[in-house]
Structure 1
């Protein structure tokens, strides 16, 4: 662990450098901690700011630096509208910040201990697991619980000496990879094998969790699973789709938006766009979709971006919102068309000279942000920006077929963690959109050969996509009926 932390003192951002130095006993000044605190709070949704401020203070407290603050906003510990992970984290943070000055209440101890089972990380969340252990370490009689919890923690230490934020993200990776493979013409037997796994891990309430070891379902996984199963075979997977749609509608907020987690938690722009994309595959629920789109439009900032979500890239929510609100068979009010125009303007203004896009305007280009942007660019009449983005994206591919990029996922927000497969999946998804925008010609392009494989296409005879449905306005497929999809428009 020490070797791992030593290797991360000089990189990974201000937060990583600060916590590594603190853990190694190198100290962090109050100014440094304050800079970290303000930097973190500025990059999270407004409704979570108070809790994140308390969490950062607790992290420094756990690492033995920083004083126990007297002025923590009590709202940071209000669990009445929190999903279970956030509620346990808030209770643990409250105990940590008390610093032994106040006894931990019996109900709090009961809640914290309920998450501890030897050999199992509750909900697969190692950060919450470790926070609970820190909260219990000074509680009389909890020595055995803490020791068992530490043994469980070390079961997940990686070869590099470090520990992950969560045990795995298998289901989230599976739904995104399945959708990307479906959009790009993977074999049916592969796609149905993936779908069979998803059906097996679907929860009783109809939703999916980010990993099969978690019980809390989320809008993100559920919406993408709906799209994938619908695109693959809507008849075969009719029942799982119906259960999933019911679970989505059940968590819809009174404001028309959708939260990441259960009913009653705050609606978010990215989750609302995801829900619209999933519900739109069903050709109904217009009474749900229209208010959701209005909520989405109301969330948008003047520059075309949206409040922070679960991605480090400011283009993640725009690409999902763009697909959710792209003109098709549904009629949209002017405010939704205005939202899309601002999204397009944001993307057009942020392309770098190398053709790629960064996580923020002016940031160096990275593959996953470019994949998000390319999906938006492919809906425009001018092919030149899309060509430049595609050229950059293809240049990031390694010899093994994978794609290199910066960490993109955030958890807990705004701390980034890296899941390399997601870069491959979102790149493949963008390339699936791209291939449906290209007019096939008779020009023979020599295929890239790999050992033991044969070319997948011949001139003028591309392999047919595995997914049998026509193009639709959702995450899996580019919008139909646009200038870019017209035979007479300027294809890339």
Structure 2
């Protein structure tokens, strides 16, 4: 349905212009937006622990201790990590119970990782329950592979035994670290680099590879003296921001520069990774980057778009859907939605896999109207992505599928209407305090498909959150490794601009009552 809107058009336009200018000021000369990942307790605690083991960096140790004393834990695991490394009591039984309650399709691997990290920090004992052998050895993302090798090395060191594959794990982990660009955080992933260095310490303490890694990680310390999860996310952020700046009209003509920057970061396999240094491609970044290039110049970037399409086709699951990193891994709704949006403009060529993807998205919707939250915390973040993807397919699918899409969309809208807070906004989950990011991600669905009253209240709340310089602030929504949140603050403004773009497009004063998704 198309919403008959009543919110003040001039106010929305003004807010959008201020936000557009705010984001454009972040675009650097080469077209990239380079935001800083906020510091996290886990990485800061791991670096402090490693520096102590190596008897290195006393000034950095002092700075990290100060950060950990000031930092507010984002959850139970943060609190346990900070307490353990600063010498405060840790309730190990409560930590274990919390980990035992973790439910995710990557659950066994993620539990093993988190249990091992907390054991390294002293929050849990190394014991038989934390068994690396319970995780199958299969193809993984590069950082997952190195992390699992590091975990096996750490457990073998604790048991003081030479397990059958230990030498192989040591050689391959060290070779992977050594092959990466000197002076860079390995794959841009500070957490994976830290885990590997802790493992390296067990058999090469004081070695050159370990010393060099410590120097690199110290250099990415933030102003608050904490350590981020990843060193950057400039490819992902630039692609996403370029898309919404294009949707806002791009009166400063920055999008061509942003698209050129993104195009130059395409990897050999046709995909993209999240930052300038990683060699690991993924479906999410590839979908976002391809979307920007198609908006900015489908003819200019025809060859790169063809390679991206081929990458996405290769990654598609035989039964429908897309995973994040490795074909054959479980498909995920948000990855699938992104791939559908990227491939839908060439429906004829991709109709077979897209029809399967639509069925997958419809089949995995929950009874409450939501989809699985994978790389995000907010329900609305996946809802908006999937609803947009389904909306782009309705002109091509069968009448039966169109009926199912309409029902799925209505169910998602009902969920958002039922979970809207009295102040007009949304929190990450039902009952959570409203925040600008969760609200911004709900707005496009409500504006396009909800009631005018719900949309008006949502926009009023969002506009009230805009800061004097034009930006927005919210708690982090991204997670990595799942379920740990990490924060690139600029993304709140990016999603808010997407919401305001939709509001402008849908407003009768714009002369286009039927909104066109960007």
Greater alpha carbon shift after TM alignment, 14-23 vs 328-337: 328-337
Q: 1:300 aligns with which of 365, 375, 384?
A: 365
Counterpart-to-counterpart distance in 1, 2:330 and 2:134? 15
Residues 463-491 of structure 1: CA deviation (Å, up to 9, x unaligned): x9xxxxx9655xx2xxxxxxxxxxxxxxx
**CA contact 1:224–1:278 (8 Å) conserved in 2:** yes
Please give the alpha-carbon distance, in whole angstroms, between the structure 2 residues aligned to 1:471 and 1:65: 52
CA distance in 1, matches of 2:233, 2:299: 28
Q: Which among 98, 102, 108 is matched to residue 36 of structure 1?
A: 98
Any idea what SS the aligned residue of 2:362 has? helix
Alignment counterpart, residue 396 of structure 2, candidates 309, 326, 330:
330
Once the two structures are superposed, the pairs formed by residues 54-203 of structure 1 within 5 Å of their partners are: 54-72=112-130, 74=132, 76-101=134-159, 102-103=161-162, 105-117=166-178, 118-140=182-204, 143-187=207-251, 189-203=253-267
Q: Which has the higher contact order (CA 8 A, sep 6+)?
A: 2
Deviations 1:65-122 (A, max 9, x none): 3211213355654231322211111121222233431236111001211232442222
Look up the match of 2:89.
Answer: 27
Distance verdict in 2 for CA 1:248–1:23, change over 3 Å: same
What CA distance in whole angstroms lies between the structure 2 residues aligned with 1:252 and 1:58?
A: 33
Structure 1 segment 80-479 matched on structure 2, within 5 A: 80-101=138-159, 102-103=161-162, 105-117=166-178, 118-140=182-204, 143-187=207-251, 189-284=253-348, 285-326=350-391, 328-332=394-398, 333=401, 334-380=403-449, 382-440=451-509, 472=516, 476=518
Question: CA 1:366–1:325 in structure 2 vs 1: closer, same or farther (change >3 Å)?
Answer: same
Report Cα offsets for 1:424-460 as digits up to 9, x if no partner: 111101111110011218xxxxxxxxxxxxxxxxxx9
Mind listing any 5+ residue stretches in structure 1 that lack a counterpart? Answer: 442-459, 465-469, 477-492
Q: Judging changes above 3 Å, is the alpha-carbon distance between structure 1 residues 438 and 336 closer, same or farther for their aligned structure 2 residues?
A: closer
Distance change (3 Å), C-alpha of 1:323 and 1:75: farther
> Does the CA contact (< 8 Å) of 1:124 and 1:211 recur in 2?
yes
Change (3 A) 1:76 1:151: farther
Q: Contact 1:397–1:403 (CA<8 Å) still a contact in 2?
A: yes
Over aligned residue pairs, what C-alpha RMSD do you find?
2.1
Quote how far apart the aligned CAs of 1:144 are.
Answer: 3.3
Partner of residue 2 from structure 1, selected from 62, 65, 86: 65
Q: Deviation at 1:275?
A: 0.7
1:359 aligns to what SS in structure 2? coil
Counterpart of 2:15? none
Separation in structure 2 between the aligned mates of residue 439 and residue 76 of structure 1, nearest angstrom = 58
Does the 8 A contact of 1:18 with 1:32 survive in 2? no
Cα distance per residue 1:107-152 (max 9 Å; x no partner): 1001211232442222110100000011121115773332222122
Name the TM-score, length of structure 2 as normaliser: 0.81
Across the two proteins, how many residue pairs are aligned to each other?
Answer: 443
Structure 2 unaligned runs (5+)?
1-63
Aligned counterparts of 1:223 and 1:260: Cα–Cα separation in 2: 11
CA distance in 1, matches of 2:478, 2:424: 23
Q: Does the 8 Å CA contact 1:68/1:99 hold for their aligned counterparts?
A: no
- Is the 2:154–2:202 Cα contact (8 Å) retained in structure 1? no
Find runs of 4+ consecutive structure 1 residues off by over 4 angstroms.
73-76, 470-473
Listed one character per residue, the Cα deviations across residues 187-240 of structure 1 (whole Å, up to 9, x for unaligned) are 373111111111111112221110011011111111112222222332222222
Give the Cα separation in 2 of the matches to 1:471 and 1:91.
Answer: 50
Normalized per residue, the structure richer in helix is 2
